[in-house]
Structure 1
Amino acid sequence: MQRTNYGHPAPATSPPLHHPVPQHVSTVPQLRSPPPPAPQHQTSGYGNPYQQQGPQGGGSAFGAYGGFMADPTAQMGFQVGQTALKHGTEYVEQNFNRYVNFSALKHYFNVSNSYVVNKLFLVLFPWRHKPWSRKQTIGPSGQEGWFLPPRDDLNSPDMYIPLMALVTYILLSTMMAGLQGAFNPELLGYTATYAFFVVGIEILLLKFGCYLLSISNDSQLLDLVAYSGYKFVGVIATILVSEISNGGKGTGGWIGWTIFSYTFLANALFLLRSLKYVLLPENSNDERGTMQTVARSQKSRRTQFLFLYSYPLQLLFMWILTRI
């Protein structure tokens, strides 16, 4: 037996203590689908007023919309709206057809890419073009003298080129003003009003001359509107070349005047040859529809009017449009 320093016997050594080591058993929970929701019993009107109710008719917005369309009142309103829209469209078409014949207007926009290119070349270089007479065929109702559309006849007037040339002229004039530091948003409206005013005055003068000379034609007005717009092709060419040659300082200089003189003469010859069948018809109809030959004196006055319109008037109009 061992003793301590103090003479007392040492206590017996106790065995070491062992703590139990916890063993973790990993268990995988079994996946099960959640139980179906309990059926909601319809509560009375004294239930919770703030409880959100789901959409009826399938639980979606489409179901609600389908339920709305299934309502006889909604179907009746939808049919009434369709009927009102149909009658409104017919009313607008009838009132517009009093002033503009849309079926005849489609004829002037029946163009192709090759026609547009060849027509622009003809307006700018009409010197050696032959023949100038328009091609005719038999109409859908068997009538004679039915003119072919522009797609099939280069000498036929169209409204696609005059309309595009007018829009290009308005944008080009505004762009040139911007390059010179004088751009103003109101300039677009001013230029458009100015161009439409010039064309309107020209058409009024033409109609007044046709009235004095007893010239009548079913498609006369639309033809005159189309031919009055071809001058913008020469005006655009004059503005572009003049601005480039003059360094963006406006139209002027000997190059600008040379281009203006050429485009004016080209446009005058083009109108002189093209308007011959409109202003100088070989025959005319009286009130009873009888064909009568135009007298020589009447034809001479019409020739003078055509020359006056093609040269002096076009010179004035083109000069005004290039000075804007």
Structure 2
Amino acid sequence: MDLPHQGHRASAKPRTRAAPSTSDPILFVDTSSVAPAKNNTVYYTPGYNMPGPSNDMQGGAVQNNMFTDPMANAALMYGSSLANQGKDIVNKEISRYVSVNKLKYFFAVDTRYVLKKLMILMFPYTHQDWEVRYHRDAPLTPRQDVNAPDLYIPTMAFITYILLAGMALGIQKRFSPEVLGLCASTALVWVIIEVLVMLLSLYLLTVHSDLSTFDLIAYSGYKYVGMIFTVLCGLVFGSDGYYVALAWSSCALMFFIVRSLKMKILPSLSSDSIGTGTSSKPQFRLYITVATAVFQPIVIYWLTSHLVR
């Protein structure tokens, strides 16, 4: 009686090990592609169920994930804080010696002013009104008065002159970083010397005028416009074009300097002569104006002649 019962139990074991039907749940699902929806139907919803990314896209995602790394973010924040601290220190040091508000005044320009100013610098003979206008004892900004000096044109002209000098030296197979650096430093030193001489002359002669240091830098920097014109003509038309452009730009700049400084240095000749009883100060003022104008062609020739051969 026991044997048949054991045989029945033995025959029942294979039945419990039968293969699972297709309706049984799948334990491991391939998630490398799009996960199928219910009833084995794939529904594509914009922004959600899109085809899996390729290997290149996965590599780009890995690179993008580098920027989300906590260490990378910490380094970026630390670098930004150092940059901000350095900027604050520089602004603080500049504010000690230079008034930022005054400096902003000389860069308050627009396109209309720049075009009109360049025309006056190259063709000053047609300009009639040279008086600088004031509002409540304060001069109008350059964008409001074309006769007001600015630092935007001298700065951009200086940069353009350096780039043009590098191109001219490259055309002549004489370019090197040392030569270009020497050219830039020489041009900057000449402006500094000219401004210092003007300030010293006005101080020693006790000449009271409306000229500030920024005004002198602006008037001295306008020569770079004529220097650019001279070098371009020399590169295009040769030595003959260079000397013709040199003569034109020199005469135009001298006329511009005399008419501009006349409104700053020479407006109170009669009052000085009456107050002092002499005519020496008016004569010295006139000498300073003329000497400043005559000095411009010399500097232009000195800084441009070696660029054109």
Cα separation, partners in 2 of 1:33 and 1:275, compared to 1, 3 Å: farther
Higher fraction of helix = 2
Deviations 1:237-280 (A, max 9, x none): 0110111012xxxxx23x32111111000000001111123322
Q: Does 1:304 align with 2:296?
A: no
Q: TM-score, normalised by structure 1?
A: 0.66
Distance 1:92 1:218, change over 3 A: farther
How far apart are the structure 2 equivalents of 1:240 and 1:115? 23
Say if 1:298 and 1:190 are closer, same or farther in 2 by CA, change over 3 A: same
Count of aligned pairs: 240
TM-score (norm 2): 0.68
What whole-Å deviation, never above 9, does each CA across 1:143-193 have from its counterpart, x for those lacking one? x2x100001100000101000000111110111010111111223311111
Aligned residues of 1:111 and 1:151 also touching (Cα < 8 A): yes
The answer to whether the Cα contact below 8 Å between 1:282 and 1:294 also exists between their aligned partners in 2 is: no
Alignment of 1:135-284 (within 5 A): 135-138=133-136, 144=137, 146-217=138-209, 220-246=212-238, 252-253=239-240, 255-282=241-268
String of CA shifts for 1:24-71, please: whole Å, max 9, x gaps: x9932433789xxxxxxxxxxxxxxxxxxxxxxxxxxxxx97xxx9xx
The DSSP-based 3-state class of the residue aligned with 2:173 is coil
1:96 to 94, 97, 100: 94
Shift in alpha-carbon separation, 1:188–1:116, aligned structure 2, 3 A: same
Structure 2: 5+ residue runs without aligned partners? 1-18, 29-68
Per-residue displacement from partner, 1:102-147 (whole Å, max 9, x unpaired)? 1100000000001111110110000020100011101xxxxx2x10
| Larger radius of gyration between Structure 1 and Structure 2 | 1
- CA 1:218–1:243 in structure 2 vs 1: closer, same or farther (change >3 Å)? same
Residues 216, 284 of structure 1: 8 Å contact kept: no
Q: Secondary structure at the match of 2:143?
A: helix
Higher relative contact order (CA 8 A, sep 6+): 2
- Residues 304 and 315 (structure 1), Cα distance of their counterparts in 2 relative to 1, 3 Å cut: same
Please state whether the residue corresponding to 2:182 is helix, strand or coil.
helix
- Is the Cα–Cα contact under 8 Å of residues 130 and 263 in structure 2 kept in the other structure? no
Identity %: 34
In the aligned structure 1, how far is the partner of 2:204 from the partner of 2:132?
25
